Chain A
Amino acid sequence: MLRYIAYRTLVALFLVWIVVTAVFLLLHLIPGDPAELLLSQGGIAADPEAVAALREKMGLNAPLWQQYIAHMGGFLSGDFGESFRDGTPVIGQIALRLPRTLEVIAGAALLATIFGVPLGTYAAIRADGKADALISLLSSVALSTPVFVVGSVVILIFAQELKILPAGGFVPFSQNPLEHLKLLLLPAGTVAIALWAVITRMSRASVLEVLQRDYVRTARAKGLGRSRILRRHVVRNALIPVLTVLGLEMGTLIGGTVLVEFVFNWPGLSGYLVAAVDARDYPEVVGIVMTISVLFVFLNLVVDVVNALLDPRISLVKS
């Protein structure tokens, strides 16, 4: 097991390197001069002097390999440069805002799993029944409604019409824990809806498939009771693909935080990215994208390890 975790960690580190390199290549291989592209807006040519200054500032005049080394070095030391907008180090904003985004992600994953797995399992057992049809309909709608639509409608209904929830905002946990959690519920719950749909559907499909497996028949042939078969043989095995899907959905989940933090004025890292992109604040964008991508790789590592704990075959195959 430890060997497997070490192996997966190594793979994750390799992926981080790939991510950092990919970001670098993307910046330099997209046709055109980044400095010029950054300064031009809506077809108006940029001021050549400003371009030259920016080129100097971004280090674009150095040979590509030197730029690459500087890029890697910056990443390793956590130095993403200074923001174009206010001149403060990018890493400061990241350190401040990352925990808030993590809160949203964790809350959403938790909510989605707590409601998704049992409902999916129930729908599978009652497949083709009324409850199944209802859950299926709900999850289809939830899956198809983009988070910002859900968020806007939630505000419309709960904040504006019913006035039972605030329309968004943020209070630090240390100041008012209850209010903090109440405000967290909005973005986390909104992101959770689409994820819930995915987990419910996957749980249903997975449980249905496991129910057809020979070993469930064996469990019945042993004379075991329903709930024991369901717990030990059906749900436990069905969770493995669900977890894999959860890992695959991490990207969508992170994307969801970008929109949701914007919608609910949640001062996390993802929402900040939008402002940075809007202002075309190059160092900030690069810093945040790399941070979140590393987070993405790390979350996938966690999913892999938990999966290996559930399925003894995995650690054998790869380690």
Chain B
Amino acid sequence: MSRATRKLLLPGAIISVIVALVLAAPILPLPDVRGMDVTNRFAGPSAGHWLGQDEFGRDVLARLIWGGRASLFIAVGSALAAAFIGTVLGLLGGYFRGAVEFLTVRASEVVLCLPPLLLALLVVTILGAGTWPLILALTILYTPNYARVVYAATLQIRALDFVTAQRAMGTHPLTILWRTILPNVTPPLLVQMSLVVASAMVIESGLSFLGLGVVPPTPSWGLMIRAARGAMEVAPLLLVWPSLALAGTILTFNLLCDRLQSALDPRHVTAGGALWLRRSPRRSGAAGVTGNHRAANPPLLEIRDLSISVEAGRQPLELVHDVSITLNPGETLALVGESGSGKTLTSLALMGLLPDMLGVSGGRMICAPRQGGRIDLAQLDEDGFRGLRGGEISMVFQDAAAALNPVLRIAEQLAEAIRARSDLRGPALHSRMVELLRQVGIPDPERRLAAYPHELSGGQRQRAMIAVAIANNPRLLIADEPTTALDPTIQAQILRLFQQLKRDTPEMGLIFVTHDLAVVAEIADRVAVMYAGEVVEQGPVAEVFARPRHPYTAALIASVPEGRAERLTAIPGTVPQPHAMPPGCRFAPRCTQTRPACSARAPEVSIPAGGRMTRCIRWKEVT
């Protein structure tokens, strides 16, 4: 049982107790709810009357339980009726669309034009007060809610491929509705159900409180509160009991609703908060700028034995293991690997942008900033990183549509990036922005500055993203799959733009993260191939591609569909999961050249030639 499911137990148990109590009301040894005892009116709690007696001397506890019976009957009854009608309307409307949609969902939504309590009042005016008019009013009231929820869910699910697959299979539409769509709309339906019960109780008790709902002498919580108000000075406790019962029951249903939501739809449980927003005590001298005593021409970036772990659970789980990379000024390094290889995490770690639950768990990332000295990025906190971002290290993200703020103009997003690092203001700032957009090849930059991201095409958005990234002439530019979401002709344009950038700023180092070996061949000087969190091979692109020194690199190159061969060379099996890494070489289970020694222990790094490395013990024999 998952944590989210366990959390359902508490509200579930309370509701069971309440339901059991009101169901068992007739057989419980309770005093008669209508039995008056005027001489003992407003009597306090006693052995015979645990919660005391009301203004007619009736037993409060008995009235509380019977009142709950009336409230719950009305609320659950109308919730069920509305759920049934609304679900049918929503399913039909969502699946068949067109005229059916108009007749079902749109028609029922007319009710939503009226504020809910008013509609109930209107029905009560016509039909008079009482239990059944209330159920009718509440059913009318809540049917469109269900219809809407189910309709939205149906629309969403109907567009999914597995429903299309059913249609392609020749399944009867009603079967599809019943077997495929209904089970998938059940989660939002259940959530809506608990929400409606709570909301119906509010309206029912409100109407009863106004004297327009349940008719006396039938006990109801709303009526009890109404009566208790009149006797507030004499017996304030009479107000407290039904209030507690009512609020408590509604609270429990709301709680159930919340927890159902998180249990049924785990996506809604977002990772808690944002640690970077909280000011942390500065780490003691961490960002330590050490003396400039090394070689006169230090590498731009030197990563040594970098490990990144997820800090959830008892044992930290390593996602990136012992990565060592060096980047010189003006050099382009490609980090290439399949999904789950850790290439994006490595690049995010360089920017201090790892998700909250991940952290650097070992190693160093030595960076040589402009003003000299050396900084270990692994030791920086959020404030330390902020000083480097934009001006020293900058990043282009994969999905420009998501990486640009949709409600701000390009000019605003570009300006704030520039102003974070320079004092440019006014016309100078404007001309700098125009120059940047021109540099990244956006036509008509003056006008484009006033555009919102959604008004630009995909390619232009990626160009704008690049403009933001290079706004402050960073020394190190990290590009995380910048062309993956783009079409081939646009991808070629963006690749060309990167080549131009490299030419225009010969000192800038570029780390290009990609899964596409062909892109690596086009853009990079050196390549680091990652597999399952490790760099398995590194070296100059031409040499690595011409003569790979690791079986994984060789297999990856062979699996690229570019030759003329009929069949492709596939790598059998799948990438291992971080919690189930094979012992020894991580590629061994999928490797065609594996020997028992491969699985015995993790392979050491070998240096087949200057500037190259491989993590294979058999590189001499197999490559």
Q: A contacts B directly in the complex (CB < 8 Å)? A: yes
Task: Give A residues with C-beta under 8 Å from B.
Answer: 15, 18-19, 22-23, 26-27, 30, 32, 34, 37-38, 40-42, 124-129, 132, 140-141, 143-149, 152-153, 155-156, 160-161, 205, 208-209, 211-215, 217-226, 228-230, 232-233, 236-237, 240, 250-252, 254-255, 258-259, 262, 273-274, 276-278, 280, 282, 285, 289, 292-293, 296-297, 310-313, 316
Question: What separation, in Å, do the CA atoms of A274 and B122 have in the docked complex?
Answer: 10
| Stretch from B25-33, B185-193, B271-279, B546-554 contacting the other chain | B271-279
Q: Mark B3-17, 1 if CB is under 8 A from A, else 0.
A: 000000000000000
Q: Are A125 and B274 CB-contacts (below 8 A) given A214-B397, A251-B116, A255-B116? A: yes
Q: Which residue of A lies closest to B390 (CB)?
A: A223
Q: Is there contact, CB below 8 Å, between A223 and B250? A: no
Asked whether B394 lies within 8 Å of A221 as measured between CB atoms, the reply is: yes
Those 6 A-B pairs whose CB atoms lie nearest each other, nearest first: A255-B117, A127-B273, A223-B390, A144-B251, A223-B389, A127-B272
Question: Please, what's the 1-or-0 string for B218-254, where 1 marks a CB less than 8 Å from any CB in chain A?
Answer: 0000100100110011001001000100111011001
The interface residues of chain A lying within 8 Å CB-to-CB of B119 are: 26
Q: CA separation between A292 and B206, bound complex, in Å?
A: 18
**B393, closest chain A residue (CB):** A221
Q: Name the one of B110, B206, B395 contacting A148, with C-beta atoms under 8 angstroms.
A: B206
Given known pairs A127-B272, A214-B397, the reply for A220 and B389 (CB within 8 Å) is: yes
Residues on B with C-beta less than 8 A from A141 are 247, 251
Q: Please, how many angstroms separate the alpha-carbon atoms of A280 and B121 in the complex?
A: 10
Interface residues of B in 98-130 (CB under 8 A from A): 110-119, 121-128
29 pairs from A and B in contact (CB 8 Å cutoff):
A19-B113, A32-B127, A38-B126, A143-B254, A145-B243, A146-B246, A148-B209, A149-B246, A152-B232, A152-B239, A211-B274, A214-B399, A215-B405, A217-B397, A223-B386, A223-B390, A224-B416, A225-B420, A229-B277, A232-B405, A237-B406, A251-B112, A251-B114, A258-B210, A274-B121, A278-B211, A289-B118, A296-B114, A312-B454
Tell me whether B407 and A312 are in contact (CB under 8 A): yes
- Cβ-based interface call for B78 (8 A): no
From B118, B251, B278, B402, give the contact of A292 (CB < 8 A): B118
Q: How far is the CA of A165 from the CA of B161 in the complex (A)?
A: 61
B405 contacts which of A127, A128, A237 (Cβ < 8 Å)? Answer: A237
Interface residues of B in 249-298 (CB under 8 A from A): 250-251, 254-255, 258, 270-274, 276-279
Kindly identify, within residues 450 to 482 of chain B, every residue whose CB is under 8 Å from any CB belonging to chain A.
452, 454-455, 465, 468-469, 471-472
> Does the CB pair A223–B391 fall under 8 Å?
yes
Given A140-B255, A149-B225, also A222-B117 (CB < 8 A): no
Known interface pairs A125-B273, A221-B395, A293-B115. Does A146 touch B250 (Cβ–Cβ under 8 Å)?
Answer: yes
B212 at the interface (CB under 8 A from A): yes
A259-B121 contact given A146-B202, A221-B353, CB 8 Å threshold: no
If A149-B243, A224-B420 are given as contacts, then 4 extra A-B residue pairs at C-beta distance below 8 Å, sorted by A number, are A147-B206, A258-B117, A289-B121, A313-B406
In the complex with contacts A277-B124, A293-B115, A312-B270 CB distance below 8 A: no
Q: What is the bound-complex CA distance between A219 and B239, given in angstroms? A: 53
Which secondary structure dominates chain A's binding surface? Answer: helix
Interface class of chain B by DSSP: helix
Answer whether residue B417 sits at the interface, using C-beta atoms and an 8 A cutoff: yes
- CB A286 to nearest CB in B, in angstroms, measures 8
Q: Are B407 and A152 in contact (CB under 8 A)?
A: no
Return chain B residues, CB-CB under 8 Å to A124. Answer: 273
What is the CB-to-nearest-CB distance from A75 to chain B, in angstroms, rounded to a whole number? Answer: 14
| Distance of B549 from chain A, by nearest CB (Å) | 34
Interchain nearest-CB distance for A290 vs B (Å): 9
Q: How far is the CA of A289 from the CA of B121 in the complex (A)?
A: 9
In the assembled complex, the CB of A226 is this many whole angstroms from the nearest CB of chain B, namely: 6
* In contact, A218 and B225 (Cβ under 8 angstroms): no
Q: CB of B421 within 8 A of chain A?
A: yes
Contact A27 B126 (CB under 8 A): yes
The interface residues of chain B lying within 8 Å CB-to-CB of A229 are 277
Give B120 Cβ to nearest chain A Cβ, in Å. Answer: 9
B403 and A217 contact, CB distance less than 8 A = yes
Q: Tell me which of A15, A30, A214, A273 contacts B113 (CB under 8 A).
A: A15
Known A-B contacts A125-B274, A140-B255, A289-B114; A259 and B209 likewise in contact (beta carbons under 8 Å): yes
B159–chain A nearest beta-carbon distance, Å: 18
Shortest B476–chain A CB gap in Å is: 12
The CA of A37 and the CA of B124, in the complex, are separated in Å by 11
Highest count of chain A CB atoms <10 Å: which of B272, B391, B420 = B272
* B271 CB contacts on chain A under 8 angstroms: 212
> Which among B119, B211, B465 has the greatest number of chain A C-beta atoms within 10 A?
B119
Q: A214-B402, A255-B118, A278-B212 are in contact. Are A41 and B203 (CB under 8 A)?
A: no
User: Does B351 interact with chain A (Cβ within 8 Å)?
Assistant: yes
Other-chain contact of A258, B121, B232, B399 (Cβ < 8 Å): B121
Task: Say which residue of A22, A223, A232, A251 sits within 8 Å of B387 (CB atoms).
Answer: A223
Q: B541 — which chain A residues lie within 8 A by C-beta?
A: none
**Is B198 at the interface (CB under 8 A from chain A)?**
yes
Q: A217-B403, A310-B407 are in contact. Are A146 and B247 (CB under 8 A)?
A: yes
In whole angstroms, what is the CA distance A163 to B534 when docked?
71
Task: Decide if B196 is an interface residue (CB 8 Å cutoff).
Answer: no
B375, CB-defined interface residue at 8 Å: no
A187 to B100, CA, bound (A): 44
Q: Give the distance in Å from the alpha carbon of A153 to the alpha carbon of B258 in the complex.
A: 26
Query: Which residues does chain A contribute within 8 Å of B251, judged by CB atoms?
Result: 140-141, 144-145
A126/B273 in contact, CB under 8 A: yes
B332 on the A face (CB < 8 A): no
Across-interface contacts of B128 in A (CB, < 8 A):
37, 40-42, 280
Q: Are A228 and B115 in contact (CB under 8 A)?
A: no
Interface contact B403-A218, CB-CB below 8 Å: yes
Q: In this assembly, does B205 line the interface, its C-beta being within 8 Å of a C-beta of chain A?
A: yes
CA gap between A285 and B110 in the complex, in Å: 19
* B126, A26: Cβ atoms closer than 8 Å: yes
Smallest CB gap from A28: residue in B? B126
A128 to B353, CA, bound (A): 21
- In the assembled complex, which residues on chain B have CB atoms less than 8 Å from the CB atom of A143? 254
The answer on a CB contact under 8 Å between B407 and A34 is no
Which residues in B have their C-beta under 8 angstroms from that of A230? 277
